[in-house]
């Protein structure tokens, strides 16, 4: 797999995340829960891919590669925490 293939796949996932966010927003009840679970799963997979493939590859591409990589890792962790918080709110609202 080439760098171009990886980048294309990551961009496709970004588009899919946007589509899933819109689907979560315009749905309700069990359908919203299903869509949210799908969104959370994709974001988790995307972040794992980024951490294991993209970040190591970009780390040595420039003098700021480590700094940029560290910032993106923090960003990914914040996204995952936000999704967990949203899931917790959703569970509390359902109770």
Mean pLDDT of the chain: 83
Separation CA 43–CA 68 (nearest Å): 20
Separation CA 78–CA 86 (nearest Å): 12
Pure H helices in 26-64: 29-49, 55-59
- Six token digits for residue 92: 């509390």
Separation CA 24–CA 32 (nearest Å): 5
What is the mean predicted confidence (pLDDT) over 68-88?
Answer: 83
pLDDT in tens, 22-68: 999 999 889 988 999 999 999 989 888 888 887 777 777 777 878 88
**pLDDT above 90: residue 12:** yes
Separation CA 76–CA 90 (nearest Å): 21
- Per-residue model confidence (pLDDT) at position 94: 58
């Amino acid at each position: 797999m080439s760098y171009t293939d990886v980048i294309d796949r990551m961009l496709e996932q970004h588009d899919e995340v946007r589509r899933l966010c819109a689907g979560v927003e315009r749905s309700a009840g069990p359908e919203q829960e299903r869509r949210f679970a799908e969104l959370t799963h994709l974001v988790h997979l995307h972040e794992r891919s980024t951490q294991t493939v993209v970040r190591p590859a970009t780390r040595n591409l420039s003098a700021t590669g480590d700094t940029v990589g560290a910032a993106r890792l923090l960003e990914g962790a914040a996204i995952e925490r936000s999704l967990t918080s949203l899931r917790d709110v959703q569970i509390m609202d359902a109770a």
